[in-house]
Structure 1
Amino acid sequence: MSRSPENVRVRRTRTLLRQALVELIEERGFDRVTVGQITERAMVSRAAFYRNYRDKYRLVEEIFDEAAAALIDKTGGDSDADRIRRLEAFYDGVARYDRLYRALLGRKGSPWFAARIQDTVTSMTATHLPLPAPVDDLIATLLGGMFLNSVTWWLTHDRPVPARDMATHYARLAAALISEANTPPSQPNS
């Protein structure tokens, strides 16, 4: 199957823009990077940038959305093994864009991006897991924060374990937290 020249050109432009963004975040920090700097570094026109992305945030969101899609893919089922498979696919997506995630979650990174990851997982958790009221929002928020921290830890420590192991560890910790949340509180002794 041959690919049209435009598809190759679009993919090349997006790749150059992503690489430029990572380099600039590492040098300057996300908040100080401008679209002009990204296009200059990538050696593409501003028009080419805006044909692909609304702004630098959309560029980052597209990469995150690719990884996050793995978390909500229910085509394989909803067993524990399926959930671990989806988590593993997410960690694999992070590994594929290792430098970008490291840059965005590192010292010069973006609080906006960290909040985006946590909010996405918190929302997915609140929607898909049976959690007891009134602590359902608290548990979903804790799971979102735990997920963000697991990704950050994994990257900060140079991915010391495979994505499958990270998925399994997170799933076990999440299950323990959910189990504890579903346990009725003990009554104080009278």
Structure 2
Amino acid sequence: MTETMHDRMVARTRQLLKETLLLMMEETGFSDVTVRDLTLKANVNRGTFYLHYRDKYDLIEQMEDELLVGLQKNMNSLNYQEMLECSKLNIPYSPLVEVFQYLKANGRILKSLLGTKGDPAFSHKLKLSLNNGIFEVLNDRIHDPSIPNAYVSAFATSALLGIIEYWLNNEMRQTPEEIALIYLKIKFYHLQ
């Protein structure tokens, strides 16, 4: 019983530190955050911070890794052929809707990490995560030996990231279903 209570306290402290870092990133930017300021704002002892993280870079890296692991889990269920079929029928593809639901649920942190006050390296990490999703399959669909697979993946990844960033920066006005359908229409426009 004590271990369970301890685990909950650890989880609460870690969540508090993450939320406080996110707030400070929105206010001043990650580069201006110090562990001292972070712990003061979170009302957490610096020693407690160091029980959980080496420094602010470790904290943000763990936040990013958690986010990307969750995204990858959602991306793993995507199927190129099923996406194409849904596009032809003009209906949202459920696994892609789930990806956008996950992105929406994590929209605040994504927007902060990708923004000018966030982590400049995160965009590259996100592209790698997206590329390891459905875009490896896309390479098999293009039968032009003059186009190296790496360029196909780079194009597809950048296109999806562009849609995600635009959606996030415009207050995610479209529902996950709507944005998934928009993405499908753009992705398979040449086949319609």
Shared fold (TM-score, shorter chain, > 0.5): yes
Compute the displacement of 1:16 (Å).
Answer: 0.9
Q: Which residue of structure 2 aligns with residue 115 of structure 1?
A: 124
Q: Alpha carbons of 1:88 and 1:43: their partners in 2 closer, same or farther (altered >3 Å)?
A: farther
> Which 5+ residue runs of structure 2 have no aligned equivalent?
87-91
Structure 2: which amino acid aligns with 1:141?
A: A
Summarize the alignment of residues 1-190 of structure 1 with structure 2, pairs less than 5 Å apart.
4-44=4-44, 45-50=48-53, 54-73=58-77, 79-80=82-83, 84-129=93-138, 130=140, 131-132=142-143, 133-135=145-147, 136-176=149-189
Structure 2 residue matching 1:107: 3-state secondary structure: coil
Compute the displacement of 1:163 (Å).
Answer: 0.8
Q: Partners of 1:157 and 1:119 in 2: how far apart?
A: 24
Structure 1: which amino acid aligns with 2:20?
A: A
The answer on whether the counterparts of 2:20 and 2:42 sit within 8 Å (CA) in structure 1 is: yes
Structure 1: which amino acid aligns with 2:43?
A: M
- 1:56-78 C-alpha deviation (Å, 9 max, x unpaired): 2122221232233211136x996
Q: Partners of 1:77 and 1:149 in 2: how far apart?
A: 19
Structure 2: which amino acid aligns with 1:118?
A: K
Compute the displacement of 1:123 (Å).
Answer: 3.5
The two structures have a TM-score, normalised by structure 2, of 0.74
Query: How many residue pairs are counted as aligned between the two chains?
Result: 174
Q: Partners of 2:110 and 2:155 in 1: how far apart?
A: 21
- 1:32-70 C-alpha deviation (Å, 9 max, x unpaired): 43455444433342234229x944212222123223321
User: Comparing 143-152 with 92-101, which one deviates more in the overlay?
Assistant: 92-101
> Which 5+ residue runs of structure 1 have no aligned equivalent?
180-190
Structure 2 residue matching 1:111: 3-state secondary structure: coil
